Amino acid sequence: MGTVTLGVSIAVPEPYGSQLQELRAGFGDAAAHGIPTHVTLVPPTEVEADRLPAIRVHLAEVAAAFRSFRMRLGGTGTFRPVSPVVFVKIVDGAGGCNRLQSEVRDPDGPLSRELAFPYHPHVTVAHGISEEAMDLAFTTLAEYAAEWICEGFALYEQGPDGVWRKLCEYPFGTGPTCVPAQAGSPADQAAGATGAAGS
């Protein structure tokens, strides 16, 4: 059946999500329009497509037992020189993100994986572009602020074109809301083969 590349993240809601995505594109980050603005819970992870039903069930169980929490963004930070990333900082809600990602990546669950770096929730606004452009992103968004109530997370699949597409939303305290996978993708085939499992 092959493999799929998945990610789990908290979407930054509108109007903030589109604002930050357009700014990211404006800084020269070519990947901006293929990556919805988000806070990563599980970074890009390649898995066997036949694991999707178990992953969907696991994420639904995590979401059903989790509660909403406040998220507030403020100012900028960077992982340079270790990693070429400029981000908007999470000044309120980092604890909730950390607990959530820990449960999603439960060592006994289907999305268990080691991270290359210690988990640090953030919203990327520039990645892998010139130092001058990253400096611009850092200063342009130095006073940026946004606030919302985080009420769930989502599962995404990266397509062959590099674009991340939402497979399913997992609101806290309720059942998931899934959308059809990209036609013909391994995720779509897995969903068809397993019926409503995890949906």
pLDDT digits (tens, 9 = 90+) for 7-25: 999 999 999 999 999 999 9
pLDDT digits (tens, 9 = 90+) for 137-178: 999 999 999 999 999 999 999 999 999 999 999 999 987 888
Distance CA(135)–CA(184), nearest Å, equals 41
pTM of the predicted model as reported, rounded to 2 decimal places? 0.87
pLDDT digits (tens, 9 = 90+) for 111-124: 998 888 899 999 99
First to last CA, the chain: 20
Are 12 and 20 spatial neighbours (Cβ–Cβ below 8 Å)? yes
CA of 119: how far to CAs of 96, 97, 100, 189, in Å?
12, 10, 11, 32
Q: Residue 177 has what pLDDT?
A: 82
Distance CA(10)–CA(154), nearest Å, equals 6
